[in-house]
Amino acid sequence: MRTDFAIYWQRTGIADDGTPLFLSPIAIKCRWDYQQRDSEISDAVENVNVSSTVFPDRVLVVGSFLLYGDESILDSLSDVEKENPMLVQGAAMVKTQKITPRWRMRHTQWKPNDSSNKITIEVTV
């Protein structure tokens, strides 16, 4: 089910000057509803945008950032972009997160980076 990848910058707090702080970016497995792709139709190019719904393999932190793609994207990012995902074109902020427990795990508190083998995680970016 999770056959796509995303680059994930986990938000950790706010600096003294008010800018958000992030951990180093990592590649995570996920499933995007739609993938970015261009296809030619007679005299035009149809562009299908990435959906705003992502199903990641772990609990994310709201306010963090995701960028569609695998680890190869990390090599193309500058050091400044790796520190601040708001400078990366195409990176989207995690706006909401819905966690649906499976079986009888309703009263469990989930922490960032918990694996999703017992829950379904739906993130809006």
Q: What is the pLDDT of residues 38-51, one digit of tens each?
A: 555 566 655 555 55
Range 77-104 average pLDDT? 87
What pLDDT band is residue 99 in, cutting at 50, 70 and 90? confident
Alpha carbons 25 and 12: distance in angstroms, whole number: 12
Across all residues in the chain, what is the average pLDDT? Answer: 80
Number of compact structural domains in the chain: 1
Question: Which residues span the domain enclosing 67?
Answer: 4-124
Range 89-115 average pLDDT? 72
Q: What is the pLDDT of residue 78?
A: 94
Q: State percent of the chain over pLDDT 90.
A: 43
Quick one: CA torsion of 84, 87, 88, 94, rounded to 10 degrees? 60
SS3 73: helix
Range 46-64 average pLDDT? 79
Tokens read off for 55: 């199903």
User: pTM of the prediction?
Assistant: 0.75
Q: What is the pLDDT of residue 48?
A: 55
